[in-house]
Amino acid sequence: MKGVQFIVDDKGEKTAVLIDLSKHAELWEDFYDRALVESRQNEPREPLEYVKRRLTQRSRSDG
């Protein structure tokens, strides 16, 4: 694929990749988004209703 280069170690194993962002910006964004999701996989979750309630209370106190 043009604009994508692999870095290999002494054994010929792929260890990194270079992506030409001018050609593959969307590909990079998708990869980065996926990596970010996986990095946050074990973070604590809050129920949506709790977040809505907290945001509603905050907007009332700001007004």
Mean residue pLDDT across the chain: 92
**Residue 63's pLDDT is what?**
63
Q: Which residues pair with 6 in a beta bridge?
A: 17
pLDDT tens profile 33-62:
999 999 999 999 999 999 999 999 887 877
- pTM for the model: 0.52
> Of all residues in the chain, what percent carry a pLDDT higher than 70?
98
**Residue 59's pLDDT is what?**
79
| Domain housing 52 | 4-62
Q: For residues 43 and 2, what is the distance between their CA atoms, to the nearest angstrom?
A: 37
Number of domains in the chain: 1
Q: What are phi and psi for residue 13, nearest 5 degrees?
A: -80, 135
Please state the rounded mean pLDDT for residues 14-38: 94
